[in-house]
Every structure is written in C-alpha cells, then in structure tokens.
A = this chain, B = another copy of it.
Amino acid sequence: MTIKEIIKPSKQLHMSGMLRIESENDRFMGPGRVELLEKIIETGSISQAAKLMGMSYKKAWDLINSINQHTTKPIVTTQTGGEKGGGTIVTEEGKQLITAFKKLHSEFNIYLSEKLEAFLQS
C-alpha cells in the first residue's frame, strides 16, 4: 500500500513544527524569545512583557541575557533615569534578528505544507 492509501482521506491533516537556534550549552533564538522581544517593543518594559507572557521578571531577564551573550551588540538595553524615567528598548540589531527569524519561520511553514502534500501523495 502507498501512504496515500494507508491514511484515511477524510482526515484533514496538517504538519506543524518548530524551529530553535541553539548554541553548545544554551538556546539562542526560538519562538518564545521572539515573542518576548516583540512584547518588550510593544510595552517598552521588561516587567510588563514578562507579565504578558506569564513569566517571572527574573525569567525574562535570564532569556535576554542569554540572547545578548550570543551577539556582538546587545539586543535589549535599559536606560535608567533621564527625562522619561528610563525604559527598555530593543535595539536595531534586535529588530533585525526578529525580522530574520520570523522570515525563517514563515519559509519553514511553506516548506511544511509542501512536504506534507508530498508525504500524503507518496
């Protein structure tokens, strides 16, 4: 039998997947970290971003430090004091990383649908 004959045609199948970029002993980038960075951009605050993600402030900082350790320039920086009373920003380099990772993920989603199609016809 072929795979096409083995799988019930009535089942609407889809293929899901996830990508992560890791270094030897740590993670560098994945969907959760991208979401955290986006929420920092939205809110201008690590504590608010952490809250929106349902994680502790400490956990958010751990993730940011982990990302920053992989890059030549910081991806997230905080300013204390000043006219606006400080704030947290995602740097231009951070925004570039977000864009590049999301592009990787959307290409991956296209790959998944093509591969599933081929699998179901095999």
A100–B122 CB distance below 8 A = yes
Contact with B along A25-45 (1 / 0, CB 8 A): 000100000000000000000
On whether the beta carbons of A7 and B104 are closer than 8 Å, the reply is no
Mostly, the A contact residues are mixed
Interface size on A, residues (CB 8 A): 39
Q: Which residues of B contact A51 (CB under 8 A)?
A: none
Is A11 positioned at the interface, with any CB of B under 8 Å from its CB? yes
A116 at the interface (CB under 8 A from B): yes
Query: Would you call A3 and B108 a contact (CB within 8 A)?
Result: no
Instruction: Judge if A15 is at the interface, Cβ distance under 8 Å.
Output: yes
Q: Would you call B122 and A115 a contact (CB within 8 A)?
A: no
Indicate if A112 sits at the interface (CB-CB under 8 A). yes
Q: Which residues of A contact B (CB under 8 A)?
A: 1, 3, 5-8, 11-24, 28, 70-73, 92-93, 96-97, 100, 104, 107-108, 111-112, 115-116, 119, 122
